[in-house]
Amino acid sequence: MRNHNLTGKWLFWIGFIVFMTGVGFTESVGAFLSNDFPSLSVPLLITGGIIMLATNFFRNKKTRG
């Protein structure tokens, strides 16, 4: 995370929270959340993963020197 700019850091943590919310909604793992919305687990997992992968495009520019 040292090489990412502020936008990349924010996106990573937002994606991580979305991903972990999707893990919480899965029936096999999510014992701490109610199973009111089990159909949200897969879209949240995919969305969180995509957001975390997108942070690779928000790196600090390397300076020559």
Say if residues 49 and 12 touch (Cβ distance below 8 Å): no
Domain range list for the chain: 6-57
Q: Give tens-digit pLDDT for 1-32.
A: 677 788 888 999 999 999 998 888 777 665 55
pTM listed for this prediction: 0.76
Q: Give tens-digit pLDDT for 29-42.
A: 655 556 667 788 88
Q: What is the pLDDT of residue 46?
A: 93
Half-sphere exposure of 15 (CA within 13 A, CB side): 17
Place of tokens 């090489």: 3
Q: What is the pLDDT of residue 36?
A: 67
Q: What is the pLDDT of residue 62?
A: 75
